[in-house]
Structure 1
Amino acid sequence: MNHHNVSLKAGSTSHTRREWGMTILEVLVALLVVGLGMTMAISMLQSSVRYNQTAEYRSIALGEIEQITDRMRTNRMAANNDDYLYPASASERSNPDPENTAWTPPSAASACSASCTIEQLAKAAAERDLHDWGADVAASLPEGAGYIDKVGDQYRVSVFWRHIAESDKGSAGEAFRSVSMLVTL
């Protein structure tokens, strides 16, 4: 058996000592690799948080859409009389622009006297539903707003919210996101 002895003698130290330690260049390369890895991990974590927040807002918006459509199905008389269309202006409904529209939830239902007709009661219930729904949307989402429009026999229910997004160039900016659903009652 051959045994290799590594000895550090005065005449042969330069070759042997290099094998034992790292050079400054190797240390700098290792630090660069670790730094790049950590930067990428942090970037992925930030993206993950942003996408999770977007998914959460979409989920909330879909829940709000389901909530008002359930109310519309319950109060079909008011829905058939277009009492659930919001906002009242047809031009605002057909081209909703949350950026330029000061959206506020509808006012609470008007009081109905003892001699109300069934249609008046249905309309008052629709006004109350819209008020409650609008307040929920505004409270649940950042600058949340909702629109209900009629498209043929269906209703288009849309929910908008302000979302801080990052562009491809890395600069942060704000934009509105929306979820819309066509609903048949």
Structure 2
Amino acid sequence: MNRQGCGSPSAALDRHVWRSEPVSFSLCFSEQGATLIEVLVTLLLVAIGLSGMMAMQARGIQQNQSAYLRTQAITIANDVADRIRLNRQAGLDDYYSLALSQEASDFSTEGIHDSGKKLAYADLNGWLNWLSTTLPEGDAEITRTGQRITIVIHWNARRDRDGLSNYQHEVDL
């Protein structure tokens, strides 16, 4: 075997067109392990690509969850807005006013004789229960300024860190 030519077939064929001994296609000693390095580099690039794809997938799932929670907040806000529109006088009388951190139990209908107020409190009681079970750390406030009712819903979009989100909806009575 020719070490200077590193056993290349072209060097062997140039000297003898018709060789009786087999031509060796072995690599030079300096090239041994080059294939292994190429495989390792390829594996590294594939690993980097796969980790990038996993990160994009995780981010997509997180964004999907965020969009889902925002859609739930919009649905919840529209629900109470429709209830206020249907019980317009109670909305104008501030029976639907709600401060942050108020509980559903604050709106008990026991002992209330005014039908508008009783309906408003029943609406808020059920609505706050729905809000607290649908959105993580869900909270809301409802305020009235003149003929305009403002509904603001707050929730924690990411449970692992401070990811507070909110949605504001306004209703004209």
Is TM-score (shorter-chain normalized) higher than 0.5? yes
Deviations 1:109-164 (Å, cap 9, x if unpaired)?
2334xxx4xxx110111011111111110011111111101234311101111121
Structure showing greater radius of gyration is: 2
Aligned equivalent of 1:25: 37
SS at match of 1:128: helix
SS at match of 2:110: coil
Aligned equivalent of 1:104: 103
Count of residue pairs the alignment pairs up = 152
Aligned equivalent of 1:62: 74
Instruction: Using the TM superposition, give the Cα deviation of residue 68 of structure 1 relative to its aligned residue in structure 2, in angstroms.
Output: 0.4
Structure 1 unmatched ranges of 5 or more: 88-95, 97-101, 166-171
Cα 1:157/1:139, change in 2 over 3 Å:
same
RMSD: 2.6
**Could you tell me whether the CA contact under 8 Å between 1:111 and 1:124 is conserved in 2?**
no
SS at match of 1:182: strand
Aligned equivalent of 1:162: 156
Deviations 1:14-72 (Å, cap 9, x if unpaired)?
36xx7xx9612211110111001100110011001100100000011000001101100
* Higher relative contact order (Cα pairs below 8 Å, separated by 6+ residues): 1
Aligned equivalent of 2:98: 86
Give matches, 1:135-150, under 5 Å. 135-150=129-144
Cα 1:8/1:161, change in 2 over 3 Å:
farther
TM-score, normalising length from structure 2?
0.77
Letter in 1 for 2:73: A
SS at match of 1:160: strand
Q: Does 1:181 align with 2:165?
A: no
TM-score, normalising length from structure 1?
0.73
For residues 131 and 36 of structure 2, the distance between their equivalents in structure 1, rounded to whole angstroms, comes to 59
**Residue identity (%):** 25
**Could you tell me whether the CA contact under 8 Å between 2:92 and 2:147 is conserved in 1?**
no
Aligned equivalent of 2:122: 128
SS at match of 2:143: strand
For residues 83 and 122 of structure 1, the distance between their equivalents in structure 2, rounded to whole angstroms, comes to 8
**Could you tell me whether the CA contact under 8 Å between 1:164 and 1:175 is conserved in 2?**
yes
Aligned equivalent of 1:53: 65
4+ residue runs over 3 A deviation = none
